[in-house]
Amino acid sequence: MSAASCFTYDVVKILRKQREPLESVEVICTGKQENEPPNRFTHLHLHYTLKGDIKHENVKKADRLSEDKYCSVINTHKGSVEITSDFEIIE
């Protein structure tokens, strides 16, 4: 949940700076965990549905910036948890 929140915050902030007409964002976060306690996460996937007349390239750039540079939660877990994301835009 914290990875999804952090990532979403960054993406929205970046899209607003790009003056993209973002109407809403929905995030579905799924993951895989080890079977033994402490049930460490091994994989997280974040799927975003963005609503608005938004340029695909700008969302892709915001996604990349958040994952590589700004999201402290994702960057804390890099190397120990596989983190993937994708998105779709609906108008």
Walk me through the domains of the chain, giving residue ranges and CATH numbers. 2-90 (3.30.300.20)
Region of 45 on the Ramachandran plot (φ > 0 left; ψ -120 to 50 alpha; else beta): beta
| pTM score of the predicted model | 0.84
Task: Determine the pLDDT at residue 79.
Answer: 85
- Contacts for 72 with CB less than 8 Å, ≥ 6 apart: 6
Cα angle for residues 46, 40, 72 (degrees, 5° grid): 50
Q: What is the pLDDT of residue 91?
A: 82
Res 58: pLDDT? 96
**Rounded to an integer, what distance in angstroms lies between the CA atom of residue 50 and that of residue 53?**
9
Write out the chain's pLDDT in tens, 91 residues. Answer: 888 999 999 999 999 999 999 999 999 999 999 999 999 999 999 999 999 999 999 999 999 999 889 999 988 888 889 999 999 999 8
Number of Cβ within 10 Å of residue 59's Cβ equals 22
The amino acid present at 35, given as its one-letter code, is N
CA geometry: angle 19, 21, 23, nearest 5 deg? 135
